[in-house]
Every structure is written in C-alpha cells, then in structure tokens.
C-alpha cells in the first residue's frame, strides 16, 4: 500500500446509545483520541459509512482501523467491514470485561464506577492496539505510567474526510478516493508521465477504489492525464 500521509490508526466506536457498554466505547475512544494518542489516531462516526460519501466509505481502506463494540452484536466491526473495509482489530467491551473478571458497567447516560473503570481499561487496550497496528511496539500504553502525547486537535474525519477527485471515465463522472494524495506522492518523487508510471498510478489508485477490470485501460489513461495536468498546475504556481 502506498504511504500517502502520516499514518494514523482509525478508531470506530459503536457508540451504542442503548447500552452502558456503548457509552464505554465512546468515552474510551475519546480518551485515546484526545489524550493518549492524539497524533496517531483519527475517528469517524459509524453512520457516515451509510450516510456519507465515497471519501467516508474509504476510511477503513485508508487507515488501519480498530473497531470497538459494546456487545456481541458487533455493529461497528460488521458494519465497517460491510461498508468500508475489514478492520485491523476488533474489540468487544463485554468480552474484554468478562475475560478480566470485571463488573458489568451500568448507566448508559452516566456511567457508574464499574463503567468508569471499564473506560480506563479499554482506553489502555485501545492505545496498545494503536501502537501495534502502527508498528510502534514497546511504547507504554498505560494511562497511569506514561506521559500522554502532547495534546492536539482531536481528529474527526467528519466533513474533512479523505480527498476525492471526480474524473470522466468513458463519459461518466467517477469519484476516485485519495487520488490527490496518490498524485502528490508521485510528483514529489519527481516522476514523469509515461506508461510505466501509468501502471504504478493505477496500482496505487486500486488500493482505495474498486476499478472494473474491463475498464482498467481507460482508467489508466485518465489517471495519467490527470497526473500530467497536476504537474502543469504545480509548475504554474
């Protein structure tokens, strides 16, 4: 997979409003996003996989994603796989607490003490999983023993999303997720537009987009033309 941006782990919480465990997922995710790993994580609201656009649905293909569910229904994990991409890691609060012999949380609106403890434990587990998927083993994940990362803007993908370019393919407008980042990467490598580059560009674009095999040649030429145009735009700046 091409390295298109500073790599971040995606966190998708089920955020279930019906169960205290759903509140635990949301608060633990926020703790990791805001305090424990603010520079390494990004999130998206689960419903955007249905209600959003192509850029939103590319989330789990773009970021190695950790889903956090409250119960065995596993809405976040299953819906992420169904609408976006297979999660790198799936955590379930009820299973995690049972495995550790911890009490079931209560209070979906205001967590009880067991719920607050569950948030702390889940946040530590989540932070450790973030480090693993980003290949940063060895960093202390604990909220007690380690300094949190410097606080940054909590990264929410709503409204910013992954950049999308619309190209005309066989006379039809087609959205290509992450194309601006792909082009930028090759521009920065100083590549000139030729047939070898066209194949490499297509391979990179296919990581994030479904391209019908019978249209690959058309896509290849359209993407190469877009690359040449982007070179001209850069040169004119």
Partner 1 sequence: MSEPAHTHAVVVIPCSGIGKSFGTVSREAAYQLCENLCPDQARLVALSKLVLGEGEARQAVAANPTVTIDGCKRMCAAKVVRESGGTVVCERTVLEVFRRHKDLKPEGIAELNEAGLKLARVMAEEIAETVMRINAAKEGGHA
Q: Does 229 contact partner 1 by CB under 8 A? A: no
**Dihedral sign, Cα of residue 168, residue 169, residue 171, residue 177:** negative
Q: Does 235 contact partner 1 by CB under 8 A? A: no
Q: Which listed residue (4, 27, 141, 224) binds partner 1 by CB under 8 A?
A: 27
Cα–Cα distance between 101 and 224 in angstroms, integer? 57
Cβ-proximal residues to 188 (8 Å cutoff; 6+ apart), any chain: none
**Residue placing its CB nearer to partner 1 in the complex, 7 or 78:** 78
Residue with tokens 């019978």: 214
Q: What x-and-dash track marks residues 56-95 binding partner 1 by CB under 8 A?
A: -----------------x-xx-xx--xx------------
Contact 59, 5 (CB under 8 A): no
**Residue placing its CB nearer to partner 1 in the complex, 79 or 96:** 79
Q: Does 109 contact partner 1 by CB under 8 A? A: yes
Q: Where are the alpha helices (DSSP H) in the chain?
A: 20-31, 48-51, 54-57, 59-62, 75-83, 93-99, 113-133, 179-188, 195-208, 216-236
Q: Does 26 contact partner 1 by CB under 8 A? A: yes
Stretch that binds partner 1, among 11-19, 125-133, 164-172, 220-228 (CB under 8 A): 11-19
Query: Footprint of partner 1 on this chain (CB under 8 A)?
Result: 13-19, 22, 26-27, 29-31, 34, 43, 45-52, 73, 75-76, 78-79, 82-83, 108-109, 154, 156-159
């Amino acid at each position: 997979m091409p390295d298109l941006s500073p790599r971040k782990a995606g966190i998708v919480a089920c955020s279930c409003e019906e169960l205290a465990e759903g509140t635990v997922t949301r608060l633990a995710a926020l703790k990791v996003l805001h305090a424990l790993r603010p520079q390494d994580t990004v999130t998206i609201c689960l419903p955007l996989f249905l209600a959003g656009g192509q850029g939103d649905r590319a989330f789990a293909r773009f970021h190695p994603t950790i889903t956090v569910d409250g119960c065995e229904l596993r809405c976040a994990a299953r819906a992420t796989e169904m609408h976006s991409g297979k999660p790198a890691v799936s955590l379930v609060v009820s299973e995690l607490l049972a495995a550790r012999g911890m009490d079931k949380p209560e209070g979906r609106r205001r967590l009880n003490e067991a719920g607050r403890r569950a948030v702390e434990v889940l946040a530590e587990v989540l932070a450790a999983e973030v480090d693993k998927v980003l290949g940063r083993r060895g960093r202390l994940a604990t909220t007690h023993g380690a300094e949190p990362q410097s606080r940054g803007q909590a990264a929410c993908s709503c409204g910013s999303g992954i950049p999308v370019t619309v190209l005309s393919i066989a006379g039809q407008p087609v959205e290509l997720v992450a194309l601006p980042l792909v082009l930028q990467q090759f521009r920065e490598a100083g590549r000139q537009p030729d047939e070898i580059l066209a194949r490499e560009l297509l391979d990179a674009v296919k990581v994030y987009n479904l391209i019908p095999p019978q249209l690959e040649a058309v896509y290849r030429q359209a993407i190469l033309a877009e690359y040449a145009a982007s070179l001209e735009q850069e040169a004119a700046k």
